């Protein structure tokens, strides 16, 4: 059964505590937190102070996705803010292995994300250092985009790579996840579904989370 990680980027920030408590009481497994700096992606979201405040209310795993340049400058601060998983992008630098091992040494699970144009094969030599492989199924930066079909092939390739390596890496999909495609995404080999607009634009977010969970069986 896939884990469900509602993306807080789509939450109502005027009623953030309400939405956090909704997730606490729902069948969701994680909180997915997108941190954007306006440089790596053409959007700005929120950072450590907001995450630290959210942690006071949230009762589930914090899955923090850094869409920022030079993420290595902030690993300790995100640990202090409450990150359980900390994901960086393959495309942000040359010292990926060092960054992953540093994240793990700080007591967090290390995530690595790849954009739609980055081949899965690029992570082959470091798969054992990756706790969470986040395959972007849209071009990162904004919610509400449509799922890119090429992602299905990438999920299958990633699953094969992980299996052959004997690694325990989880596969996470972020972008364009809906009630209509969730079952197919999980069937391809996905372990974690991120859903933002699908959850928070629905009339009953908790029920939508329940349906996503059922689709991921």
For residue 161 the two structure tokens come to 């790579």
Adjacency order of strands within the sheet including 109-114: 3-6, 192-195, 170-174, 132-136, 109-114, 85-89, 61-67, 30-36
CA distance 83 to 110: 10
Residues with Cβ within 8 Å of residue 186, at least 6 apart in sequence: 2, 193, 215, 216, 217
The catalytic position among 34, 63, 131, 191 is: 34
Ordered alpha helix ranges (H), the chain: 16-24, 48-55, 75-81, 96-105, 150-165, 182-187, 197-200, 205-215
CA distance 33 to 21: 15
Q: For this structure, is 174 an active site residue?
A: yes
The catalytic position among 19, 63, 174, 191 is: 174
Active site residues: 34, 174
């Amino acid at each position: 059964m896939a884990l469900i990680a509602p993306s807080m980027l789509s939450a109502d920030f005027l009623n953030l505590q309400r939405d956090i408590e909704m997730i606490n009481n729902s069948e969701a497994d994680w909180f997915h937190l997108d941190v954007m700096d306006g440089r790596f992606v053409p959007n700005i979201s929120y950072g450590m102070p907001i995450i630290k405040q959210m942690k006071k209310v949230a009762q589930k795993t914090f899955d923090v996705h850094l869409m920022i340049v030079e993420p290595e400058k902030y690993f300790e601060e995100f640990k202090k803010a409450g990150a359980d998983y900390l994901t960086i992008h393959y495309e942000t630098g040359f010292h990926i292995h060092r960054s992953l091992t540093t994240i793990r040494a700080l007591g967090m699970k290390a995530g690595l994300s790849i954009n739609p144009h980055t081949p899965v094969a690029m992570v082959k030599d470091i798969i054992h250092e990756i706790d969470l492989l986040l395959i972007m199924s849209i071009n990162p930066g904004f919610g509400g985009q449509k799922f890119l079909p090429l992602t299905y092939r990438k999920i299958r390739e990633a699953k094969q790579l992980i299996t052959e390596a004997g690694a325990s890496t989880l596969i996470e999909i972020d972008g364009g996840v809906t009630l209509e495609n969730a079952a197919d995404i999980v069937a391809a080999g996905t372990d974690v579904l991120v859903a933002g607009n699908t959850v928070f634009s629905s009339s009953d977010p908790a029920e939508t989370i329940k349906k996503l969970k059922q689709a991921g069986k």
